[in-house]
Amino acid sequence: MKKAMITGITGQDGYYLTELLLAKGYEVTGIVRRTSTPNTSRIENFLSHPGLKIIEADLCDSSSLHKAISLVKPHEIYNLAAMSHVATSFFQPEYSADVNGVGTVRLLEALRSNNLEGFTKFYQASTSELYGKVQAIPQNEKTPFYPRSPYAISKLYAYWAVVNYREAYGMFTSNGILFNHESPMRGLNFVTRKITSSVAKVKQNKMSVLKMGNLDAKRDWGYAKEYVEGMWMMLQQNIAEDFVLATGETHSVREFITEAFRAIDIDIEWRGKTGSLEEKAFCTKSGKVVVEISPELMRPAEVDLLIGDYSKARTKLGWAPKTKFSELVNLMMENDMRLVAEGKL
Protein backbone atom coordinates (compact mmCIF):
# COMPACT_ATOMS: atom_id res chain seq x y z
CA MET A 1 0.00 0.00 0.00
CA LYS A 2 1.29 3.44 -0.94
CA LYS A 3 1.77 5.92 1.89
CA ALA A 4 1.26 9.65 1.43
CA MET A 5 1.85 12.48 3.87
CA ILE A 6 -0.02 15.78 3.51
CA THR A 7 1.00 18.97 5.29
CA GLY A 8 -1.84 21.50 5.27
CA ILE A 9 -4.42 18.69 5.30
CA THR A 10 -6.92 20.90 7.14
CA GLY A 11 -6.99 23.49 4.32
CA GLN A 12 -9.00 23.66 1.08
CA ASP A 13 -6.57 21.63 -1.04
CA GLY A 14 -5.86 19.27 1.86
CA TYR A 15 -9.53 18.32 1.88
CA TYR A 16 -9.71 17.47 -1.85
CA LEU A 17 -6.33 15.73 -1.91
CA THR A 18 -7.27 13.54 1.07
CA GLU A 19 -10.50 12.58 -0.68
CA LEU A 20 -8.59 11.70 -3.85
CA LEU A 21 -5.78 9.70 -2.20
CA LEU A 22 -8.12 7.74 0.10
CA ALA A 23 -10.23 6.84 -2.96
CA LYS A 24 -7.06 5.60 -4.65
CA GLY A 25 -6.34 3.31 -1.66
CA TYR A 26 -3.44 5.28 -0.17
CA GLU A 27 -2.67 5.24 3.52
CA VAL A 28 -2.74 8.99 4.24
CA THR A 29 -1.05 10.78 7.12
CA GLY A 30 -2.09 14.35 7.75
CA ILE A 31 0.12 16.83 9.55
CA VAL A 32 -2.04 19.01 11.78
CA ARG A 33 -0.68 21.87 13.87
CA ARG A 34 -1.77 22.48 17.43
CA THR A 35 -4.49 25.12 17.80
CA SER A 36 -6.56 26.12 20.83
CA THR A 37 -9.81 25.30 19.02
CA PRO A 38 -10.22 22.37 16.60
CA ASN A 39 -9.00 23.10 13.07
CA THR A 40 -10.17 19.85 11.46
CA SER A 41 -13.71 20.88 10.46
CA ARG A 42 -13.07 20.47 6.71
CA ILE A 43 -11.78 16.88 7.08
CA GLU A 44 -14.28 15.84 9.81
CA ASN A 45 -15.84 13.19 7.54
CA PHE A 46 -12.50 11.51 6.90
CA LEU A 47 -11.29 11.36 10.52
CA SER A 48 -12.87 7.94 11.14
CA HIS A 49 -11.57 6.53 7.82
CA PRO A 50 -9.20 3.60 8.51
CA GLY A 51 -6.82 4.90 5.82
CA LEU A 52 -6.26 8.25 7.55
CA LYS A 53 -3.85 8.98 10.41
CA ILE A 54 -3.21 12.38 11.96
CA ILE A 55 0.13 13.44 13.44
CA GLU A 56 0.58 16.72 15.28
CA ALA A 57 3.54 18.70 13.91
CA ASP A 58 4.33 22.20 12.74
CA LEU A 59 6.21 23.56 9.73
CA CYS A 60 8.00 25.89 12.18
CA ASP A 61 9.38 22.98 14.22
CA SER A 62 12.09 20.76 12.69
CA SER A 63 12.05 18.01 15.30
CA SER A 64 8.29 17.40 14.95
CA LEU A 65 8.70 17.09 11.17
CA HIS A 66 11.69 14.75 11.53
CA LYS A 67 9.72 12.48 13.90
CA ALA A 68 6.60 12.42 11.73
CA ILE A 69 8.59 11.43 8.66
CA SER A 70 10.58 8.82 10.56
CA LEU A 71 7.32 7.25 11.82
CA VAL A 72 5.62 7.12 8.41
CA LYS A 73 8.41 6.91 5.80
CA PRO A 74 5.99 8.12 3.12
CA HIS A 75 6.31 7.32 -0.59
CA GLU A 76 4.90 10.76 -1.37
CA ILE A 77 4.79 14.07 0.52
CA TYR A 78 2.49 16.90 -0.51
CA ASN A 79 3.65 20.13 1.13
CA LEU A 80 0.47 22.21 1.15
CA ALA A 81 0.94 23.90 4.53
CA ALA A 82 1.38 27.66 4.35
CA MET A 83 0.41 31.06 5.62
CA SER A 84 -1.46 31.32 2.34
CA HIS A 85 -3.21 34.71 2.57
CA VAL A 86 -1.40 37.32 0.47
CA ALA A 87 -2.89 40.39 2.21
CA THR A 88 -2.02 38.97 5.66
CA SER A 89 1.58 38.43 4.57
CA PHE A 90 2.08 42.22 4.41
CA PHE A 91 1.28 42.34 8.15
CA GLN A 92 3.16 39.13 9.05
CA PRO A 93 6.12 39.02 6.65
CA GLU A 94 8.54 37.26 8.97
CA TYR A 95 6.07 34.55 9.98
CA SER A 96 5.14 34.00 6.31
CA ALA A 97 8.83 33.53 5.47
CA ASP A 98 9.23 31.09 8.36
CA VAL A 99 6.28 28.82 7.51
CA ASN A 100 6.35 29.04 3.72
CA GLY A 101 10.05 29.44 3.02
CA VAL A 102 12.12 27.94 5.83
CA GLY A 103 9.30 25.46 6.59
CA THR A 104 9.78 23.89 3.16
CA VAL A 105 13.51 23.51 3.74
CA ARG A 106 12.81 21.97 7.18
CA LEU A 107 10.65 19.34 5.50
CA LEU A 108 13.20 18.62 2.77
CA GLU A 109 15.94 18.32 5.41
CA ALA A 110 13.73 15.98 7.47
CA LEU A 111 13.65 13.66 4.44
CA ARG A 112 17.43 13.80 4.17
CA SER A 113 18.03 13.23 7.87
CA ASN A 114 15.78 10.14 7.62
CA ASN A 115 17.80 8.91 4.60
CA LEU A 116 14.70 9.05 2.42
CA GLU A 117 16.09 11.31 -0.32
CA GLY A 118 16.11 8.47 -2.86
CA PHE A 119 12.71 7.11 -1.78
CA THR A 120 10.13 9.84 -1.13
CA LYS A 121 8.63 11.95 -3.91
CA PHE A 122 7.98 15.56 -2.85
CA TYR A 123 5.29 17.94 -4.13
CA GLN A 124 5.63 21.65 -3.37
CA ALA A 125 2.61 23.97 -3.48
CA SER A 126 4.16 26.73 -5.57
CA THR A 127 2.03 29.53 -6.90
CA SER A 128 1.19 31.87 -9.76
CA GLU A 129 1.85 34.69 -7.24
CA LEU A 130 5.52 34.12 -8.17
CA TYR A 131 4.82 35.85 -11.52
CA GLY A 132 3.58 38.98 -9.68
CA LYS A 133 4.27 41.91 -11.96
CA VAL A 134 4.01 39.66 -14.96
CA GLN A 135 6.86 39.56 -17.46
CA ALA A 136 4.84 37.72 -20.15
CA ILE A 137 1.22 36.94 -21.00
CA PRO A 138 0.21 34.14 -20.55
CA GLN A 139 2.58 32.76 -17.90
CA ASN A 140 4.22 29.34 -18.21
CA GLU A 141 7.08 27.37 -16.59
CA LYS A 142 9.67 29.52 -18.41
CA THR A 143 8.23 32.95 -17.49
CA PRO A 144 10.56 34.91 -15.16
CA PHE A 145 9.26 35.58 -11.64
CA TYR A 146 8.64 39.04 -10.13
CA PRO A 147 7.08 38.56 -6.67
CA ARG A 148 4.93 41.39 -5.28
CA SER A 149 4.26 40.38 -1.65
CA PRO A 150 6.02 38.84 1.37
CA TYR A 151 3.93 35.73 0.61
CA ALA A 152 5.27 35.51 -2.94
CA ILE A 153 8.85 36.14 -1.77
CA SER A 154 8.59 33.31 0.76
CA LYS A 155 7.21 31.00 -1.93
CA LEU A 156 10.05 32.02 -4.27
CA TYR A 157 12.57 30.81 -1.68
CA ALA A 158 10.68 27.51 -1.37
CA TYR A 159 10.44 27.16 -5.17
CA TRP A 160 14.23 27.43 -5.55
CA ALA A 161 14.86 25.14 -2.58
CA VAL A 162 12.81 22.47 -4.36
CA VAL A 163 14.79 22.95 -7.59
CA ASN A 164 18.06 22.99 -5.65
CA TYR A 165 17.39 19.77 -3.69
CA ARG A 166 16.49 18.07 -6.99
CA GLU A 167 19.74 19.18 -8.60
CA ALA A 168 22.03 18.89 -5.56
CA TYR A 169 20.83 15.59 -4.09
CA GLY A 170 18.95 13.97 -6.98
CA MET A 171 15.70 14.06 -4.99
CA PHE A 172 12.32 13.67 -6.72
CA THR A 173 10.97 17.15 -5.95
CA SER A 174 8.33 18.91 -8.09
CA ASN A 175 6.91 22.42 -8.00
CA GLY A 176 3.26 22.69 -8.98
CA ILE A 177 2.88 26.32 -10.05
CA LEU A 178 -0.84 26.54 -9.45
CA PHE A 179 -3.01 29.44 -10.48
CA ASN A 180 -5.91 30.41 -8.19
CA HIS A 181 -8.24 27.51 -7.53
CA GLU A 182 -11.47 27.84 -5.61
CA SER A 183 -14.31 25.73 -4.28
CA PRO A 184 -16.98 25.59 -1.59
CA MET A 185 -14.08 24.61 0.73
CA ARG A 186 -12.22 27.90 0.09
CA GLY A 187 -11.42 30.00 3.17
CA LEU A 188 -13.95 32.79 3.73
CA ASN A 189 -11.37 35.58 3.48
CA PHE A 190 -10.23 34.80 -0.07
CA VAL A 191 -11.99 36.96 -2.61
CA THR A 192 -14.15 34.36 -4.37
CA ARG A 193 -15.59 32.85 -1.19
CA LYS A 194 -15.95 36.27 0.41
CA ILE A 195 -18.05 37.23 -2.61
CA THR A 196 -20.18 34.07 -2.78
CA SER A 197 -20.85 33.99 0.98
CA SER A 198 -21.68 37.73 1.07
CA VAL A 199 -23.88 37.69 -2.03
CA ALA A 200 -25.83 34.78 -0.50
CA LYS A 201 -26.30 36.88 2.66
CA VAL A 202 -27.42 39.93 0.66
CA LYS A 203 -30.01 37.75 -1.13
CA GLN A 204 -31.31 36.42 2.20
CA ASN A 205 -31.36 39.87 3.84
CA LYS A 206 -28.55 39.03 6.26
CA MET A 207 -26.19 41.68 4.85
CA SER A 208 -26.85 44.87 2.93
CA VAL A 209 -23.54 45.95 1.36
CA LEU A 210 -20.47 43.98 0.34
CA LYS A 211 -17.21 45.94 0.94
CA MET A 212 -14.45 45.19 -1.54
CA GLY A 213 -10.85 46.12 -2.39
CA ASN A 214 -9.38 46.20 -5.90
CA LEU A 215 -12.05 45.23 -8.44
CA ASP A 216 -9.70 45.46 -11.42
CA ALA A 217 -7.38 42.60 -10.43
CA LYS A 218 -7.67 39.71 -12.87
CA ARG A 219 -7.21 36.10 -11.93
CA ASP A 220 -7.17 32.71 -13.65
CA TRP A 221 -9.69 30.88 -11.43
CA GLY A 222 -10.14 27.09 -11.61
CA TYR A 223 -11.84 24.40 -9.53
CA ALA A 224 -9.67 23.07 -6.66
CA LYS A 225 -10.97 19.49 -6.95
CA GLU A 226 -9.41 19.22 -10.42
CA TYR A 227 -6.10 20.81 -9.37
CA VAL A 228 -5.31 18.20 -6.71
CA GLU A 229 -5.49 15.52 -9.43
CA GLY A 230 -2.75 17.44 -11.22
CA MET A 231 -0.63 17.42 -8.01
CA TRP A 232 -0.94 13.63 -7.83
CA MET A 233 -0.14 13.24 -11.54
CA MET A 234 3.11 15.21 -11.07
CA LEU A 235 4.33 12.64 -8.53
CA GLN A 236 3.44 9.69 -10.79
CA GLN A 237 6.05 10.77 -13.38
CA ASN A 238 9.41 9.01 -13.73
CA ILE A 239 11.32 12.29 -13.74
CA ALA A 240 10.61 15.20 -11.41
CA GLU A 241 9.65 18.42 -13.16
CA ASP A 242 7.76 21.65 -12.47
CA PHE A 243 4.31 22.23 -13.96
CA VAL A 244 1.81 25.08 -14.34
CA LEU A 245 -1.85 24.23 -13.65
CA ALA A 246 -4.33 26.87 -14.84
CA THR A 247 -7.43 27.36 -16.97
CA GLY A 248 -5.99 29.76 -19.56
CA GLU A 249 -8.88 32.19 -18.90
CA THR A 250 -8.82 35.36 -16.84
CA HIS A 251 -11.60 37.40 -15.20
CA SER A 252 -11.64 40.50 -13.01
CA VAL A 253 -12.92 40.61 -9.42
CA ARG A 254 -15.71 42.86 -10.77
CA GLU A 255 -16.76 40.15 -13.26
CA PHE A 256 -16.78 37.56 -10.46
CA ILE A 257 -19.15 39.73 -8.42
CA THR A 258 -21.49 40.34 -11.38
CA GLU A 259 -21.52 36.60 -12.13
CA ALA A 260 -22.24 35.69 -8.48
CA PHE A 261 -25.31 37.97 -8.43
CA ARG A 262 -26.39 36.66 -11.84
CA ALA A 263 -26.23 33.09 -10.48
CA ILE A 264 -29.12 33.96 -8.15
CA ASP A 265 -31.02 36.01 -10.74
CA ILE A 266 -30.02 39.47 -9.48
CA ASP A 267 -28.89 41.97 -12.10
CA ILE A 268 -26.48 44.61 -10.87
CA GLU A 269 -25.26 47.81 -12.47
CA TRP A 270 -21.82 49.38 -11.86
CA ARG A 271 -21.81 53.16 -11.47
CA GLY A 272 -19.06 55.69 -10.69
CA LYS A 273 -15.65 55.92 -12.36
CA THR A 274 -14.33 52.41 -13.04
CA GLY A 275 -11.50 51.57 -10.64
CA SER A 276 -12.13 54.62 -8.43
CA LEU A 277 -13.02 54.56 -4.72
CA GLU A 278 -16.46 55.95 -5.69
CA GLU A 279 -17.37 52.95 -7.83
CA LYS A 280 -20.47 51.11 -6.53
CA ALA A 281 -22.80 48.36 -7.69
CA PHE A 282 -26.57 48.81 -7.51
CA CYS A 283 -29.31 46.20 -7.68
CA THR A 284 -31.10 47.08 -10.93
CA LYS A 285 -34.51 46.08 -9.54
CA SER A 286 -34.43 47.66 -6.05
CA GLY A 287 -31.98 50.49 -6.79
CA LYS A 288 -30.11 49.67 -3.52
CA VAL A 289 -26.30 49.79 -3.23
CA VAL A 290 -24.99 46.23 -2.91
CA VAL A 291 -21.22 46.69 -3.38
CA GLU A 292 -18.87 49.51 -2.38
CA ILE A 293 -15.11 50.02 -2.08
CA SER A 294 -13.13 50.05 1.18
CA PRO A 295 -9.68 51.60 0.71
CA GLU A 296 -8.26 49.55 3.60
CA LEU A 297 -8.81 46.38 1.53
CA MET A 298 -6.35 47.59 -1.12
CA ARG A 299 -2.89 45.97 -0.96
CA PRO A 300 0.41 47.89 -0.75
CA ALA A 301 1.46 46.16 -3.99
CA GLU A 302 -0.92 44.31 -6.29
CA VAL A 303 -0.73 41.50 -8.82
CA ASP A 304 -2.81 42.94 -11.66
CA LEU A 305 -3.18 40.10 -14.11
CA LEU A 306 -2.68 36.36 -13.99
CA ILE A 307 -3.42 34.00 -16.85
CA GLY A 308 -1.72 30.63 -17.11
CA ASP A 309 -0.54 28.49 -20.00
CA TYR A 310 -0.95 24.87 -18.90
CA SER A 311 0.20 23.25 -22.18
CA LYS A 312 3.11 21.41 -20.53
CA ALA A 313 0.73 19.76 -18.01
CA ARG A 314 -1.69 18.90 -20.82
CA THR A 315 1.03 17.27 -22.95
CA LYS A 316 3.11 15.51 -20.29
CA LEU A 317 0.52 14.74 -17.58
CA GLY A 318 -2.66 14.58 -19.64
CA TRP A 319 -4.16 17.14 -17.24
CA ALA A 320 -6.73 19.73 -18.31
CA PRO A 321 -9.27 21.82 -16.39
CA LYS A 322 -12.95 20.97 -16.94
CA THR A 323 -15.04 23.41 -14.90
CA LYS A 324 -15.71 26.73 -16.64
CA PHE A 325 -15.75 30.09 -14.84
CA SER A 326 -19.57 30.41 -14.68
CA GLU A 327 -19.93 26.77 -13.50
CA LEU A 328 -17.44 27.45 -10.70
CA VAL A 329 -19.31 30.56 -9.57
CA ASN A 330 -22.61 28.66 -9.73
CA LEU A 331 -21.42 25.73 -7.65
CA MET A 332 -19.96 28.06 -5.00
CA MET A 333 -23.14 30.17 -4.94
CA GLU A 334 -25.34 27.09 -4.61
CA ASN A 335 -23.30 25.90 -1.63
CA ASP A 336 -23.29 29.28 0.14
CA MET A 337 -27.01 29.91 -0.48
CA ARG A 338 -27.67 26.62 1.31
CA LEU A 339 -25.25 27.33 4.18
CA VAL A 340 -26.72 30.80 4.77
CA ALA A 341 -30.27 29.40 4.70
CA GLU A 342 -29.24 26.75 7.26
CA GLY A 343 -27.69 29.45 9.48
CA LYS A 344 -24.22 27.91 9.07
CA LEU A 345 -22.61 31.04 7.62
Are residues 254 and 270 in contact, defined by beta-carbon separation less than 8 angstroms?
A: yes
- Interacting residues with ligand NAP between 161 and 190 (CB under 6 A): 178, 180-181, 187
Q: Does 291 bind ligand G4F (CB under 6 A)?
A: no
CA atoms of 98 and 104, how far apart (whole Å): 9
Following DSSP, what letter does each residue of 185-216 receive, concatenated?
TS-TTSHHHHHHHHHHHHHTTS-S-EEES-SS
Among 217, 234, 257, 260, contact with ligand G4F (rule: CB under 6 A)? 217
**Residue 65 per-residue DSSP state:** H
Are residues 181 and 248 in contact, defined by beta-carbon separation less than 8 angstroms?
A: no
Binding mask 187-226 for ligand NAP (x = CB under 6 A): x---------------------------------------
Nearest to ligand NAP of 187, 275 (CB atom): 187
For the packed helices 224-235 and 12-23, what is the interaxial angle rounded to 10 degrees? 60
Q: Does 191 bind ligand G4F (CB under 6 A)?
A: yes
Phi, psi of 134 (to 5 degrees): -65, 140
Q: Determine the 3-state secondary structure of 102 from DSSP.
A: helix
Q: Does 84 bind ligand G4F (CB under 6 A)?
A: yes
Spot the catalytic one: 18, 104, 127, 143. Answer: 127
Q: Does 64 bind ligand NAP (CB under 6 A)?
A: no
Smallest distance, Å, CB 303 to ligand G4F? 6
Which residues are bridge partners to 177 per DSSP?
Answer: 126, 244
Q: Does 81 bind ligand NAP (CB under 6 A)?
A: yes
Are residues 5 and 31 in contact, defined by beta-carbon separation less than 8 angstroms?
A: yes
Among 32, 86, 110, 317, contact with ligand G4F (rule: CB under 6 A)? 86
Query: Nearest to ligand NAP by Cβ — which residue?
Result: 11
Which option in ligand G4F, ligand NAP, none does residue 187 bind, with CB closer than 5 to 8 A by kind?
Answer: ligand NAP
Q: What is the bridge-based pairing of β-strands 280-283 and 243-245?
A: unpaired
CA-based nearest residue to 8, from 224, 312, 324, 297: 224
Residues that bind ligand G4F (CB under 6 A): 84, 86-87, 127-129, 179-180, 189-191, 194, 212-214, 217, 219, 253, 297, 299, 302-303, 306
**Which residues are marked as active site?**
127, 129, 151
Residues that bind ligand NAP (CB under 6 A): 7-8, 10-14, 31, 33, 35, 39, 58-60, 80-84, 99, 125, 127, 178, 180-181, 187
